[in-house]
Structure 1
Amino acid sequence: MQGNNSLPELKQLKAMVVTAAEQYLLPYFGQTTRHYKGDGSIVTQADHAIQDALVKALSEQWPEIPVLGEEMTPKQQQRLLDESRDGLWIMDPLDGTSNFAAGIPCFSVSIALLYEGEIQLGLIYDPLRKECFSAIRGKGAYLNGEPLQPGNTELPLKKCMAQIDFKRLPTQLAVRLVSDMPYSSQRSFGSSVLDWCWLAMGRVQIYLHGQQKLWDVAAGQLILAEAGGHALTLEGERVFQTTLETRSVIAAAGNRQFEAWRSIVMGSIS
């Protein structure tokens, strides 16, 4: 693969993901056996089935690009990252597994293409709503092929809806936000990759998460950036890095919202 001009076709990628979701996810929604990983998170046979199917399909279509999936071992994932200079697919085959297993309609598939240390292409598919979010670096963000137009980017913070994952935040910060809410209302939907998309399109306006993995942020952060949104870690670093270590996220749809939100968050932990 040589640069942005030779990127895989989004239409091909979307067709592949839609087919896999219809075959390996929708028939098992709310009707699958749960198992628990070493970190306590849930995994189902659907996670493995769709990952295997997509790894096979991606490898057949683009054999020169290896695939890193969430359900691979850390040793496999690290090896793939170390050898990623010529391109690497980064995939979360089923984000929102707990929702999926419980029959809660909020889960998705995420695929991103890493090349030369940057995410060049991202696609996130919500099979229940049939919403496909996508972006190519420097070419904008899209929802079902139409330019993504974020709304409510000028709302003052007090009128914003926030998406916050309190479970993984520093205690001092979580207590501050609960005791003196600087926003209108707060939600937590249980699918990190959809969080990015819903922020990018303006369903919510501000976002905070304490720990996200590589596959949680890869596609979503590009979609948000290409839609005009903003994101950093709590340490002030860019969110995406080629590491298996978790990363915090503070983000917003609009620039003024981001600056106001970040000021409050950082003031609560300083």
Structure 2
Amino acid sequence: MRSKTPSPALPVDLSAARRVAVAAAEAAGELLSAGVDGPLDVRVKGAGADVVTDLDTAAEELIVGVLRDAYPGHRIIAEESGVLEGEPGEEMVWLVDPLDGTNNVAIGMPVYAVGLALCARAEPVLGVVHDPVTGRTWSAVRGWGALDPDGKPLTLADRPRPGREKNPVLAWTQGHQVKSSDPVAFAMRSALEDQCARMLQLWAPLVAWTMLARGDIDGMVGYLPEIVDLPAGALLAAEAGAELRRLDGRPYELGIDRPASELGFVAARPELLDRLLKTTTKISTRLGGRNGHVA
């Protein structure tokens, strides 16, 4: 997925959009960090085990307000509000995850993040991830590279991990709709866990994406992932030097108009990618055709 060329000419200044997105994410982060230790109104969302809190909605309203002020014509797809239309025919779309890791916050575990992505014609061109716990923010623009919290280039090549090819640390993420009985998810997660030093399942994919971009972990595998937090994190990791493929090894094209069955991914340090793909491709071939979830 990693872009080899700068972003195409767009009807928006991406440097300015990055500043707006960073400001919105950090403002939302301040709101979240001030409220996570207080009483929370936790409600079940959807048919699964996902939840939503008053902090989710408050942070989302703040972010949407900042984006609307700066870009009144842009469309917005927000985790809680859904699609907020812009001007007719507008090609720029913001994806907003105001609190990635709500289930963690609900049980008092401080592992969560704020994510924003700007997409052009369904393709992500800007991604911002903010960690309210540490107050740090990472960002990336397609073709321009990734930046660390100090505004310096963020590249995996600067953080080699000799020997970790044989004993990597991985992260696993799956969508809320995936059931414990899903045969592909169970087989793939189990096989990968047997081949690594540790498998993290953080229930906050944006946190895992930033860990991959920083080189703290070596790879990440996603099965039927949630679309709202995927573009920001995937762009950040790709621009930092991670390689992405589909679960069956085919090239990965991240677009917000794609079905969930096409968004499963393997993301890793380049030297580890082939090893992980041997496992995911084998399971995709053996079990994927049966339930259609790893196309």
Per the normalisation by structure 2, the TM-score is: 0.80
Tell me which residue corresponds to 1:171.
186
Q: 95-104 vs 226-235, which deviates more?
A: 226-235
Are 1:157 and 2:162 an aligned pair? no
What is the Cα deviation at residue 106 of structure 1? Answer: 0.8
Tell me which residue corresponds to 2:242.
229
What is the Cα deviation at residue 26 of structure 1? Answer: 1.5
Bigger relative contact order, structure 1 or 2 (CA pairs below 8 A, ≥6 apart)? 2
**Contact in 2 for aligned 1:65/1:87 (Cα 8 Å):** yes
**Contact in 2 for aligned 1:213/1:244 (Cα 8 Å):** no
Are 1:203 and 2:216 an aligned pair? yes
**Contact in 1 for aligned 2:24/2:62 (Cα 8 Å):** no
Q: 2:102 aligns with which of 81, 97, 100?
A: 97
Look up the equivalent residue of 1:148 and give its one-letter code.
Answer: L
**Contact in 1 for aligned 2:52/2:102 (Cα 8 Å):** yes
Aligned residues: 262
Are 1:139 and 2:144 an aligned pair? yes
CA distance in 2, matches of 1:155, 1:114: 37
Instruction: Choose between structure 1 and 2: higher helix proportion.
Output: 1
Tell me which residue corresponds to 1:214.
227
CA distance in 2, matches of 1:224, 1:88: 20
Gaps of 5+ in 1: none
SS at match of 2:117: strand
Cα distance change, pair 183–157 in 1 and its aligned pair in 2 (3 A): farther
What is the Cα deviation at residue 198 of structure 1? Answer: 0.7
CA distance in 2, matches of 1:243, 1:153: 36
What is the Cα deviation at residue 157 of structure 1? Answer: 2.9
Tell me which residue corresponds to 1:34.
42
CA distance in 1, matches of 2:276, 2:120: 31
Look up the equivalent residue of 1:11 and give its one-letter code.
Answer: R
The one-character-per-residue Cα deviations of 1:58-95 (angstroms, maximum 9, x if unpaired) are 1011212221101124xx37x77xx6752011111110
Cα distance change, pair 4–142 in 1 and its aligned pair in 2 (3 A): farther
* Identity among equivalent pairs (%): 24
Q: Map 1:1-270 onto structure 2 (within 5 A).
A: 3=10, 6-7=13-14, 8-23=16-31, 25-30=32-37, 31-40=39-48, 41-73=50-82, 76=83, 85-144=90-149, 145-150=151-156, 151-152=159-160, 155-165=163-173, 169-178=184-193, 181-235=194-248, 236-238=250-252, 240-243=254-257, 245-246=259-260, 247-252=263-268, 254-270=269-285
SS at match of 1:67: strand
Per the normalisation by structure 1, the TM-score is: 0.87
What is the Cα deviation at residue 5 of structure 1? Answer: 6.7
Gaps of 5+ in 2: 1-7, 175-179, 286-295
What is the Cα deviation at residue 216 of structure 1? Answer: 1.8
CA distance in 1, matches of 2:113, 2:270: 27
What is the Cα deviation at residue 18 of structure 1? Answer: 1.2
The one-character-per-residue Cα deviations of 1:95-141 (angstroms, maximum 9, x if unpaired) are 00011122211101100101133211110000111121100111110
CA distance in 1, matches of 2:91, 2:272: 37
The one-character-per-residue Cα deviations of 1:143-189 (angstroms, maximum 9, x if unpaired) are 111211322355443221111247675333234335xx112222211
The one-character-per-residue Cα deviations of 1:219-260 (angstroms, maximum 9, x if unpaired) are 1111111111111222435252223742212110x2121111
Look up the equivalent residue of 2:215 and give its one-letter code.
Answer: G
